[in-house]
Structure 1
Amino acid sequence: MTSRQPTSPLTLRLARGGAFDSLRWFAAIAVVVLHASSALGVEVLWGGVEYAEPIMVFFTLTGMFVYASAVSTWSRTGSWRTYARNRWLRVAPAIAAFAVATPLVLVAVGAASPSTLLSPELVVWLGAAALLVPNYDPSIWSHIGSGSMNGPLYTVPAEMSFYLLVPFLVLAARRFGFWRMIGAMVVVSVVGAFVTNQGGPLVHEVFHHLFLERAAYFTTGMVLARVGSAVPLRWWIALVALAAHVGLRTYQDHGPDTGVLAWSQHTFKPLLCALPIGYLVLWAGVRLPAFLGRVTATLGDWSFGTYLWHSVVLNLALWWGARGSGLALVAVLVVSLACGAVSWRLVERRFLARKQVSLRGRTDDVDRPGPAPGPVDARPVA
């Protein structure tokens, strides 16, 4: 009789699927449609697009692949320097290009005066982007559309705070066990949601820009990195998860605003909602047609650039007077995707090619640090 070897705290069971990259595209498109339909006053799918929760899909994918990438990178190099470099290459160059190009684009189309290029506020704008907190709103652009060229980019510092936490989570999993680490993150998720909703405006603003407000989605992603390949993927479970998601979202919109039920809803909603969304992300990433993965592999990952630029495109559409037009919404989507394509082709893929260690194509178990292997595929997974 042979005894079964115990599972390491850092073992990965990533699910194999060709559509995970496509989910980033779908999430980015859903963000554009959601924001554009609201700003332009155009109803899409009878308001059903609001149920897509694309930001939570992004956070779940980040939890899954960034945690797995950190485990894999540390196990292969024994150092966190490569992990930090990979994370920087993934986000910083695209944000820098966005921060430099946005003022030039606004001046070029006549939406902003050339004098704004010499404004002290622009120095703060560029400095915030360099610090990877690219959601400072200069007043010099307040007359263009909603006045915010980067409103949705609060998610960038939220993700960056998770990036900074991940090495400690990996080490905690190795020292205390993966599930104890996850248990601690569940507590953080509940406390983070509670403080965000019960604290004052300053506390809310700080937590809104950190992973704490939506820690449940990152945590769910880490669980999927650990056990994803062992989760049964059935269409009827996916339907149950979808129904649970719709029910929870409907209760959020129409439930009580005060009292114990409202308190419970605000405190536990992220944790409850993260579970069905996590299952749907896993199911879709594995079960969606393989050709979707081939399409995104051929074209590249336009999702981050699309997300960065869509507010600029949308605000220019508003500045030009495009309201109440479905055609304007389509135009905003197409131009945003084009900006994403340019960002990918000219900036992102060039820097991502410099990654020395990548998770791409690696789904084996990881349980201890060791020397780095030879050159690996440098395409990004997160």
Structure 2
Amino acid sequence: MRACAAIGVVITHVGFQTGHTTWSTGRLLGRFDLAVAVFFALSGFLLWRGHAAAARGLRCTPPTGHYLRSRIVRIMPGYLVAVVVILTLFPDTNADLTVWLANLTLTQIYVPLTLTSGLTQMWSLSVEVTFYLALPFLALLARRLPVRARIPVIVGVALASFAWGLIPFSVPFGVNPLTWPPAFFSWFAAGMLLAELTVSPVCWAHRLARRRILMAVVALTAFGLAASPLAGPAGLAPGTLGQFLIKVSMGAVVAGALLAPLVLGPGAGAERPGDGQGSDTSHRFLGSTTMVTLGRWSYGLFVWHLAALAMVFPVIGEFPFNGHMPVVLALTLVFGFAIAAVSYALIESPCRNALRRWERRNDVTPLDSSVSDSPEPAVAC
């Protein structure tokens, strides 16, 4: 699913760069940016599930130190290499010290005019890292709640997050509070709710999630609404607050409807209370060797795809905004996954495995996403 989300991000950027910004195709291709909602929901699900299980006595509370170390090692090495290479070699960055510092620290959504060429997609990674930092505090507050109140409270906070845009902020030119983390909490909450449900007794939500055709219809309908004028104009033109809220709410629905059958359906992971159907059965398509491999490289694709896209136009002898989307998309994916594979093999995987080896010498801990106390594997995958 990560691979699908990363490809979705590539599609929306290739669509824009090849000039598909008209009403017909521009809206549909542009709305593939809701792939970011899938990324956020996946993070909410995987990082919250250990806390949901611990609240029900199924495992120990995920240790914060291990969690923060694993997040840093998962995100920063590959990211920092990309920032240094792109800011150094990209001809259009013109990066000053402020741009360098904001991008190296993933604070570019808070610092005016620091989203720069080749790295503009990193606004979402900045949001995600803020969620990583906030999650231990959210988990600490949630531990004070009765188990039966956890799901209603998450729903309530997600609904309250829609009011973020109503808060009157005084910000400098070049900073948009609607790109700050609270505006997108509902996307993380979609995954957090699914995490809670995976360790809850079977109820109507599980039975609904098992109706895959219905979930697909829900996702497609929400995607269509998000691509309509109700969610704002095509292209990069800003919409109204109401249009932004429609887009964000539909993003939460799309992400939830896509993930629910994978994590709540029959054979979708660890056994739930009252359900004898839990197993680790692989999804026929998403669990294939090809998709699992692309999933491992998906973070690298996300980080490098704009650089790969910039390489494509000189290769085919065309300028941006002149069409040729099928060729540009295919080459961007080929170049992007090639760079991502190298990044994974030389940077991401060695760093993660080095951390695993260090931790196993000191304190073997379960995976943050595990619903049991089984130790994490020695090799990260």
User: What TM-score, normalized to structure 1?
Assistant: 0.71
Q: Does 1:336 align with 2:336?
A: yes
- 1:347 maps to 2:342: no
Aligned-partner Cα distance in 2 for 1:62–1:374: 20
1:89 corresponding residue in structure 2? 73
Q: CA deviation at 1:150?
A: 1.0
Deviation at 1:51, TM superposition (A): 4.3
Q: Does 1:100 align with 2:78?
A: no
Tell whether the 8 Å contact from 1:94 to 1:347 is kept in structure 2 after alignment. yes
Matched, 1:304 2:299: yes
- The C-alpha deviation readout for 1:281-340, integer Å capped at 9, x for no partner, is 232565841564432444661111111111223344457725322323322222122221
Structure-2-length-normalised TM-score: 0.72
For residues 358-369 of structure 1, the aligned pairs below 5 Å read 359=367, 362-364=370-372
- Bigger relative CO (Cα 8 Å, ≥ 6 apart): 1
Conserved 8 A contact 2:222-2:251 = yes
Relative to structure 1, the CA distance from residue 291 to residue 62 in structure 2 (aligned partners, 3 Å threshold; closer, same or farther) is closer
Asked whether 1:246 is paired with 2:239, we answer no
Distance in 2, Cα, partners of 1:215 & 1:147 = 25
Q: CA RMSD in A?
A: 3.9
Partner of 2:195 in structure 1? 225
Does the CA-based 8 Å contact 1:193-1:267 persist in structure 2? yes
Query: Identity across aligned pairs (percent)?
Result: 23
Greater mean alpha carbon deviation, residues 80-89 or residues 274-283: 274-283
- Whole-Å separation in 2 of the counterparts to 1:137 and 1:149: 17
Distance in 2 (CA, whole Å) between partners of 1:152 and 1:176 is 36
Residue ranges of structure 1 left out of the alignment (5+ in a row):
1-22, 257-261, 365-371
Aligned length: 331
Which of 207, 212, 224 is residue 177 of structure 2 equivalent to?
207
Q: Contact 2:223 / 2:254 at 8 angstroms: preserved in 1?
A: no
**Counterpart for residue 17 of structure 1:** none
| Inter-partner Cα distance in structure 2 for 1:361 and 1:273 | 23
AA matched with 2:377: V
Q: Give matches, 1:105-184, under 5 Å.
A: 105-106=89-90, 111=91, 121=96, 123-133=97-107, 148-178=117-147, 180-184=149-153
1:16 corresponds to: none
Greater helix fraction, Structure 1 or Structure 2: 1
TM-fit CA distance, 1:84: 0.7
Q: Name which of 231, 248, 256 aligns with 1:278.
A: 256
Structure 2 unmatched ranges of 5 or more: 234-239, 269-281, 360-364
Distance in 2 (CA, whole Å) between partners of 1:182 and 1:78 is 19
